[in-house]
Structure 1
Amino acid sequence: MKKKHIRLLSFAIIAIIAFAFIGCATTSQVEPIEPTAAPQPVVEEVQVQPVEQPAQTVVEPEVPVVVGETTQEVAEGTKVVKIITTSDMHGNIFPYDFMRNTEAATSQMHVSAYVEEQRSKDQSVILLDNGDVLQGQPIVYYYNFVATETPHIVPSVMNDMGYDAASVGNHDIEAGPDVYTKVYDQADYPYVAANAVSIATGEPVIDPYVVIERDGLKIAILGMVTPYIPKWLPQNLYEGVRFEDMVQTAKKWIPIIQETESPDLIVGLFHAGVDETYSGDADELGNENASKLVAQQVEGFDVIFTGHDHQDTNMVVQSPSGKEVVIVGAMNGGRSVAVATARFSPSGSSYSLESIDGSTIMMETYEPNSELIAKYQDAIDEVTTWVSREVGSISETISSRDSMFGDSKFVDLIHQIQLEKTGADLSVSAPLSLDATIEEGPVYVRDMFSLYPYENLLFTMEMTGREIKAFLEYSYENWFNQMKSLDDDLINFKRDAEGNLIFNTRYNTYDTATRYYNYDSFAGINYVVDITKPAGQRVTIKTLTKGNAFQYDKTYTVAINSYRAQGGGGHLAAAGITPEVALDRILFSTDKDLRYYLMEAFEKKGEIEPSVDNNWLVIPNLWVQRGMKNSYPKLYPAK
């Protein structure tokens, strides 16, 4: 299939950045392909009233995860369409972990083997991806920002695997317009994102949906992305684009699809999860994870594929009319694929949907596609050589585990480089890995991905002393528990309705009130955190580290990453700084991500001697030590 030409916006301000987003608001039709053919990447708010949610029934299957698929007898004349969806691959293309220099148990190559197996059966197969392919493993970083003159590895592999369509993930946009424009143009498959809308025209900037034909049947795929992107990413990454509410968008496009295309099956391909309460109220306009809400509130869907939350999902919910809608989602990194099997029976001169079943298939039991690996062996070797390049050395081992409980060498290394790069008065940062270690001795490119996993830019912005205090109170409110006895936890863990801790099998640890990458501390000021005091009264700022008095009414320059400066984590909102105000406060932005500058620092200095300046302390010490002892095994359970 050939994609149609993309329309260019006429506004000069977005002429370059919007290329990857601009497209027709009508559909592309995907022609039928042979089972062995190999066809295939990437990208504020609409003021509408919240929709009242009717009470709905959710039916959870007893065993949502299956290792294999059961065979079901197919009646003569029945047509079977199997839709296989990957999600949140995050660069796990090959069965090799470039960060740890080890084999990987799952990858896109494992998925490829499964897909080829399914294509060999008497059924039609559709292969979809649900976003977040352009961030994660060093191999995608290499093709995003290093080997920029060569074809990108992601669409090359996905073309070879025969993907039929893909949604857009927030981390795909994070890679930047130069990257996702290139990927989009190289892909032989369409990207769909109905709720990524041009501010200038009000129309989707790429195709909202695509129709795929298989064995005389028309399958309509409506794509959407989580509308939370403006809360995480700076506007220069998606200039001229707003991200609209998923429920409202689906209500607009489903009637259009039904009337224009008369499809036999309507599929949602949503880079959004099913827990509508994860980041806010279920009634919130522009809900981050609205996939289930769409199924419950919008009539017309037969199956919805979810993503973004990295969860293995398999459930059935009821639409407004009481129709059952299958919701199924894959785990990240190719650990599982989401599958919907639709059966169509003859009905006069046409076919009608007889049944549709959802399942999630684990990939670790499949052998990776050796032929495809062999084809890309040169690329694998090239990236292996790159990540194995020594960039410097470190005089002692540092671990992110120390960062969970107080000031640490791990985070202070980031603070130090942020301050040196920006010349700001202060620096704010969090540990971005729960359990990363940089070993004493030589440091390699791969270590930078453990030290700093995300492609954040580095900003310098202005904040008043009063705002900094409120920012810190918010951070430590969510980070530390208020200890009332020596038997309490230091860490603020999440609890269920009965007050019990919640164990997360995905991460093999207990859930915390907020994720560790929101555990923000400041450098450049001296302060204490009293964990016996209630939230909002814990932080006492003493002085600037240089010795000057800290003034609440004075404005300071702060080195801060782009995620936090854009409002990610809610810290700025807690300080009373809206995204619009934050944008006006930004004085400087790097043109490369923070990981680049970390590598640069090692290369310039040769050897780095990590140190902790103890500019902030958690008190009282005895309580802290006991709280750490109580919390440590919950954060890091014995394996």
Structure 2
Amino acid sequence: MKQLLLVTFIFLFCHFSLLGNEVRDTLIILNTTDIHGTILPYDYIQDEPQERGLTKIFSRIKHYRERYDNVILVDSGDLLQGTPYAYFYNHIDTTGIHPIIQTMNYMKYDAFAVGNHDIEVGYDSYVKARAQSDFPWLSANAEMEDGTTFFDPYTIVETSGIKIGILGLTTPGIPTMLDESFYPGITWMDMIESAHKYAPELKKNSDVLVGIFHAGYDTEEDKYKEELFGLPVANASGLVADNVPGFDVVFGGHSHRIRPADTTYIYSDSTLKMISGARAYGLGVAQIILEKQNGNWKVIEKKGWFEPAHEFHEDQELCALNSPYHQEVIDYFRTPIALNKNPITTEKARFEDNAIPQMINQIQMKQTGADISFSPVFSTSLVIPANTIRIQDVYAIYPYENTLKMIEMTGQNILDYLEYCANYFVIEDATLKTNPEIAGYNYDMAEGISYEIDVRETPGNRIKNVIFLKDSSPLNPNKVYTVALNSYRANGGGGHLKAVGIDEPAILYSSEKDLRTIIIEYLKNLEVFEVHAGGNWYIVK
């Protein structure tokens, strides 16, 4: 009898143990962000291979799909712009399906959050790309006048009976980067308010709640967009995660950072807060363990980590899919356009007048007929040899798809603008350095005037001896001048115009072509490029 009872006990123990194992399951959520058209492991500007790209990441995604039954794949935005590969199929060869969308479809993405650079490709381009996508484009805060959203606010994905609610949000700082023609009828609402609007109901209908947000975690970054323009917090992913109940994991974007860093694991009893770098540098992984309790799935454990792409091999099938497009892009970007007679470097371009920003400013003035022009230099590591200039060199000089604008500014506006830019410089231990709180691309240099930056003076009193070169007269604070600058700056990017008292600049000229195309056409007509820095500005220290 005792033996019978013992056998029965063992049987029941094993039976219920097995049942316990059966009601647990694992969900893997894979994330990419800020791909910026980096499909193949190739740098089209340097014309050489690189250790990143979706073709490498996809091999790792396939590994997870082979190992686990429940795997979903999401992206946090800025997909369609940022590489020559993306540009070519956004604007030059626009027939057929976009190869980037074709790649995402092939990889079987489950959802995509809209980023600002996806909007910047232009309304027609992103509407077409969205229509070609087998996955939903999400942005719960892209609100129309009637309260609906232009993009889907969320989606629900189901795998093995587990329902995963996915909410998408986009940085509301877009109005400082792009004018309304890029997003007609859309108001970019506060991320926290939009999350509060949709998350509770989505959570009720889901076992796991995931946020894919095209915004960073550092609320201090781009804070000028709040302070100068009255916009909602631009990088509010952390605020949503901390203040809107129910999220199991939030994947941020936009800031190009990695979280957690150094491939370490993070565990959380609250919301996992992650971000997966940029330009297909790697893959974010969240592992969610669920247990069925009273007929419902409950999250009992979660952890997240980041895996760098250089550890992965390329997926040959995805490479083959993109190979014809890749070769077409290489052939185009190797096209010669002019002969450069003198080697050029931008190493010291932010500390002394330089041929590259001078060339950009001169082209902007020629194209618009403006009195004065402002432009930054985007890289201080460019080296352009005395040789043939190719299209890829122009992309190295000007990496963004800005267009060209001309506005009106008073002489006082211009003086204040120069002072605002001069905040880029600081003196520490009698040494001239750059302000770590100001991005280099927000330091503009001018053409059409000569001036001095006396860094010995206190900020706000550094600009001296400003001469309007057209008539060699001192810049008149009360006179109105025409000024050329890129669309990012004209729309408020960097806060320059708002800081000098211009809320809505009068746009006198707006180019249909992007600045890179304008530069390429200028160099083609020039045939031989020979420019020297004119020395119209210098730093007094």
Residue aligning to 1:538:
462
Change (3 A) 1:221 1:79: same
Partner of 1:47 in structure 2? none
Number of the residue aligned with 1:603: 524
Report 1:220-299 matches (<5 A). Answer: 220-259=165-204, 262-280=205-223, 286-299=232-245
Tell me what 1:24 maps to. none
TM-score normalised by length of structure 1: 0.78
Give the superposition deviation at 1:123: 2.7
Q: 2:225 & 2:275 partners in 1: Cα distance?
A: 20
State the TM-score, normalizing by the size of structure 2: 0.92
Q: 1:282 to 1:228 in 2, by over 3 A?
A: closer
The alignment-based identity, stated in percent, is 35
Superposition deviation, residue 257 in structure 1:
1.6
How big is each residue's C-alpha offset from its partner over 1:313-361, in whole Å with a ceiling of 9 and x where there is no partner? 139798xxxx611111101111121111111112233322221111111
Among 475, 482, 505, the residue aligned to 1:557: 482
CA distance in structure 2 between the partners assigned to 1:317 and 1:591 by the alignment: 49
Query: Post-superposition shift, 1:231?
Result: 1.1
Indicate conservation of the 8 Å contact 1:312/1:336, yes or no: no
The C-alpha deviation readout for 1:584-613, integer Å capped at 9, x for no partner, is x11110011100011101111111112211
| 1:575 equivalent in structure 2 | 500
- Structure 1 gaps of 5+ residues are 1-73, 494-511, 624-639
Query: Structure 2 CA distance, aligned partners of 1:605 and 1:590?
Result: 20
Alpha carbons of 1:246 and 1:317: their partners in 2 closer, same or farther (altered >3 Å)? farther
Q: Distance in 1 between matches of 2:290 and 2:78?
A: 32
Could you tell me how far apart the structure 2 residues matched to 1:433 and 1:316 are? 35
After superposition, the C-alpha distances for 1:392-415 in whole angstroms (9 at most, x for unaligned) are: 121112222221212111110101
What code does the residue aligned with 1:461 have?
I
Q: Deviations over 1:412-471 (max 9, x none)?
A: 010111111111111000002232222221011111111100000100100000000011
- SS at 2:271 equivalent: strand
What corresponds to 1:467 in structure 2? 413
Q: State the distance in 2 between where 1:548 and 1:299 align.
A: 63
Q: Matches of residues 37-186 of structure 1 in structure 2 within 5 Å? A: 75-186=21-132
Shift of 1:551: 0.9
8 Å CA contact 2:371–2:470 kept in 1: the answer is no
Worse-matched range after superposition: 350-359 or 403-412:
350-359
2:381 paired with 1:457: no
Q: Find the structure with the greater CA-based Rg.
A: 2
In structure 1, what is the Cα distance between the partners aligned to 2:536 and 2:147? 50
Alignment correspondent of 1:384: 330
Q: Structure 1 373/80 Cα, relative in aligned 2: closer, same or farther at 3 Å?
A: same
Describe how 1:284-433 pairs up with structure 2 within 5 A.
286-314=232-260, 324-433=270-379
Distance 2:225 2:323 in 1: 47
CA distance in 1, matches of 2:339, 2:34: 33
> Separation in 2 of the partners of 1:100 and 1:280?
34
**SS of aligned partner of 1:123:** coil
* Equivalent residue number for residue 586 of structure 1: 507
**How far apart, in 2, do the equivalents of 1:165 and 1:560 lie?**
36
Matched letter for residue 26 of structure 2: V
SS in structure 1 opposite 2:347? Answer: helix
Could you say what secondary structure the match of 1:254 adopts? Answer: helix
Q: How many residues align?
A: 514
Question: CA 1:532–1:435 in 2, change beyond 3 Å: closer, same or farther?
Answer: same
- Letter of the 1:253 partner, please give it: Y
Match of 1:523 among 422, 427, 447: 447
- Given that 1:221 and 1:268 are in contact with CA atoms closer than 8 Å, whether structure 2 keeps it comes out as yes
- Looking at structure 2, the residues matched to 236 and 431 of structure 1 have their Cα atoms a distance apart, in angstroms, of 27
Runs of 4 or more consecutive aligned structure 1 residues displaced over 4 Å after TM superposition: 281-285, 315-318
C-alpha spacing 1:150/1:283, structure 2 compared with 1 (3 Å): closer
* 1:217 and 2:138 matched: no
Give the Å deviation of 1:548.
Answer: 3.7
Q: CA RMSD in A?
A: 1.8
User: 1:122 offset after TM fit, Å?
Assistant: 3.0
Shift of 1:473: 0.3
Query: Which residue of structure 2 aligns with residue 29 of structure 1?
Result: none
Note if contact 1:433-1:453 (Cα within 8 Å) is conserved in structure 2.
no
User: In structure 2, what residue type is equivalent to 1:576?
Assistant: G
* CA distance, structure 2, for counterparts of residue 300 and residue 401 of structure 1: 49
Letter in 1 for 2:420: Y
Unpaired segments ≥5 residues, structure 2: 1-19
Once the two structures are TM-superposed, the CA of residue 492 in structure 1 deviates from its matched residue by 2.6
- 8 Å CA contact 2:33–2:280 kept in 1: the answer is yes
Distance 2:191 2:430 in 1: 41
Distance 1:115 1:413 in 2: 45
SS at match of 1:536: coil
Distance in 1, matches of 2:410 and 2:350, equals 26
Q: Is the 8 A contact 1:469 1:541 kept in 2?
A: no
Contact 1:273 1:290 in 2 (8 A): yes
